[in-house]
Amino acid sequence: MEGIAMAESWRPEKEVVWPTAVGEAAGDLEPTLARWRQQLQQEFPQVLAHLVWDQEKIQRLEETLDIIVDADGECPSHLRAFYRRSLINRLTGLGPLDPLLLDDTITEIMVNGPQAYVERNGVIEPCVVEFVDSEEIQDLARRVANRAGRELNTENPLCDARLSDGSRIHCVLPPVSEVPSITIRRAQSRPLRLADYLRNGSINQAMWEDLAQLVVKRHNIIVAGGASTGKTSFLRLLATAIDSAERLVTIEDVRELNLDHANTVRLEAFRQFTVRDLVVNALRMRPDRIIVGEVRGSEALDLIEAMNSGHPGSLCSVHSADGGMRTIHRLARMALQRAVGLTFDSLVDQIMDTIEVIVYLVREPGGRRRVDMVMDVSPDGLKPRWRWSGSSFERVNVT
């Protein structure tokens, strides 16, 4: 196949330089790990095959490695524990990324081949991550995909998955990217609460009370914004205004919402079961409301139809450059993918007749995420309800 041939012949446009490890422990690290790994291979023939490690296999691996380490006369005794943990992490964890996942100040981890960055307090900064080469990153990415029941290879070089702690990981392999790339959005140790939003100046009390009433009154609401503006977290906040007696169905490509409502069915796309499949099936589950983590494709039409057929008060997020008509048009273009016999303009009209509120979020240069505008939507057009003045939130068009 042409795609496979392309992948096999792929080479970076320029030489990629991988950093060498630093410190005393680095000198013999790779030769030692390679030696131990070869011995483990005899005991675990599949150790290089990206298999899924369960707790029993990990325990057996560690016991076998202990024997190998104790018998190794070449490795200095004071480095054995560090080397042992490094190999265990590479085989069963996220290797050099594991220490970053233990740092609660880090909210996002970005690996671009030999370069790595983290986000702290909304600010991106470089960091040192000691990957040996491109293959080690690809091994890690494939292992994560395997655990999540997803396929990642040269024919399917893109993957979204969820780590055991709830963090979201996105992997990209060549030939789509010049070097393998991994992006991890850390799961919050606890969900952001209303008090956090108020303290950060992301909203104010009056705006929240207004939005909460719109949720209670079962308005159909879209949360829109660019990348990393906090759309999912804000959806979760809005859902706290829903009566605990209501039955909710949440639908996500990778589960992140994790609502506290008792009567909630959490659906997550898996292999051939797409978000659209889940939206269609959610209608048979007697939901009071449907909440879609992010609308990305043709499921837009099914969600709009659901909102119009007995499921008002549904919520979703949309990646959009602004919170006005571009959001409406983006939804219409997604719905048009499977809207047989419908035109773009007719879909826009249907959406304007269905969606009642758009909340648009932004991320400021300093890292703060906040509401920029709240828009009322009707067949007559869009009207601002709340807006950011540059220093405070203003209520407009009070009726």
Are 221 and 359 spatial neighbours (Cβ–Cβ below 8 Å)?
A: yes
Query: If pLDDT is split at 50, 70 and 90, which confidence band does 128 have?
Result: confident
CATH 3.30.450.90 residue spans of the chain? 2-185
Sign of the CA dihedral running 156, 158, 162, 163: positive
Q: What is the pLDDT of residues 42-92, one digit of tens each?
A: 777 665 554 455 677 778 888 888 989 988 888 888 888 888 887 887 777
User: What is the distance between the alpha carbons of residues 146 and 151, in angstroms, rounded to a whole number?
Assistant: 7
Determine the number of helices (DSSP H) and then strands (DSSP E) in the chain: 13, 15
- Is the pLDDT assigned to residue 316 strictly greater than 60? yes
Residue type, 220: N
- The DSSP result for 80-134, as a single string, is HHHHHHHHHHHHHS-GGGHHHHT-TTEEEEEEETTEEEEEETTEEEEE-----SH
- Is the pLDDT assigned to residue 7 strictly greater than 70? no
Interaxial angle between packed helices 344-354 and 299-307, expressed in degrees from 0 to 180 and rounded to the nearest 10 = 40
Report, as an integer, the average pLDDT of 375-384: 94
Are 50 and 142 spatial neighbours (Cβ–Cβ below 8 Å)?
A: yes
Q: What is the pLDDT of residue 80?
A: 84
Nearest to 211 by CA among 319, 357, 325: 357
CATH of domain 194-395: 3.40.50.300
Nearest to 293 by CA among 112, 128, 168, 144: 168
In percent, how much of the chain has pLDDT > 70?
90
Q: What is the pLDDT of residues 274-313, one digit of tens each?
A: 899 999 999 899 999 999 999 999 999 999 988 988 789 9
Query: If pLDDT is split at 50, 70 and 90, which confidence band does 96 have?
Result: confident
Report, as an integer, the average pLDDT of 249-258: 89
Nearest to 163 by CA among 174, 173, 150, 176: 150
User: What is the distance between the alpha carbons of residues 13 and 250, in angstroms, rounded to a whole number?
Assistant: 43
* 3-class DSSP state of 302: helix
Q: What is the pLDDT of residues 182-217, one digit of tens each?
A: 999 887 767 889 999 999 999 999 999 999 999 999
Domain 2-185 annotated CATH 3.30.450.90: yes
- Is the pLDDT assigned to residue 344 strictly greater than 60? yes
Going through the chain in order, the beta strands assigned E by DSSP cover 106-112, 115-120, 123-127, 158-162, 168-172, 181-185, 221-225, 248-252, 264-268, 289-292, 315-319, 357-363, 369-378, 381-388, 393-395
Report, as an integer, the average pLDDT of 332-356: 93
| pTM, two decimal places | 0.72
Task: Show the tokens assigned to 372.
Answer: 């920029």
Q: What is the pLDDT of residue 57?
A: 74
Q: What is the pLDDT of residues 147-157, one digit of tens each?
A: 777 788 888 89
**Is the bond leading into 114 cis (omega within 30 degrees of zero)?**
no
Beta bridge partners of 359: 223, 374
Running DSSP on this structure, what letter comes out for residue 271?
T
Q: What is the pLDDT of residue 192?
A: 87
99 vs 252, residue with greater confidence: 252
* 3-class DSSP state of 13: coil
User: What is the distance between the alpha carbons of residues 198 and 126, in angstroms, rounded to a whole number?
Assistant: 30
CATH 3.40.50.300 residue spans of the chain? 194-395
Sign of the CA dihedral running 185, 190, 193, 197: negative
Please tell me the least confidently modeled range out of 130-144, 191-205, 319-333. 130-144
Nearest to 48 by CA among 136, 129, 158: 136
Q: What is the pLDDT of residues 10-46, one digit of tens each?
A: 333 444 444 444 345 555 777 888 888 888 877 776 6
User: What is the distance between the alpha carbons of residues 42 and 173, in angstroms, rounded to a whole number?
Assistant: 29
Q: What is the pLDDT of residue 140?
A: 84
In percent, how much of the chain has pLDDT > 90?
46
